């Protein structure tokens, strides 16, 4: 959802609702929709993926980071972020 204002979830094994707003909500929604494939800043462009993931982790959402190599004129590595625990969406609020 492009105009996501907030998303409220529960993490498997914990019934405490967690709400994320703005770009953090956007990142979490992308991770949920991507499933086990996960997200990279290449296929889901966002200026600060690492910070969004940091804030999701701090908020109790398990996210793992896999380093991947890529080729091309700017060859190097990038991160692939994947949810490490199932989450249940309670509410998505549009902007």
The reported pLDDT for the residue numbered 2 is: 63
Q: What is the pLDDT of residue 82?
A: 98
Contact 80, 70 (CB under 8 A): no
The pLDDT tens digits for 42-85 are 888 888 999 999 999 999 999 999 998 989 998 998 899 999 99
pLDDT in tens, 7-55: 999 999 999 999 999 999 999 999 999 999 999 988 888 889 999 999 9
Query: What is the model's pTM?
Result: 0.91
Q: Phi and psi for 76 in degrees, rounded to 5?
A: 170, -140
Residues 47, 15 contacting (CB under 8 angstroms): no
DSSP 2: T
pLDDT at 1 over 80: no
């Amino acid at each position: 959802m492009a105009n996501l204002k907030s998303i409220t979830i529960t993490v498997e094994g914990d019934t405490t609702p967690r709400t994320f707003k703005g770009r953090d909500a956007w990142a979490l929604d992308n991770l949920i929709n991507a499933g086990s494939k996960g997200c990279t800043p290449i296929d889901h462009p966002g200026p600060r993926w690492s910070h969004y993931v940091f804030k999701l982790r701090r908020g109790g959402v398990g996210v793992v980071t896999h380093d991947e190599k890529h080729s091309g004129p700017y060859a190097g590595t990038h991160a692939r972020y994947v949810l490490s625990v199932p989450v249940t969406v309670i509410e998505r609020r549009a902007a």
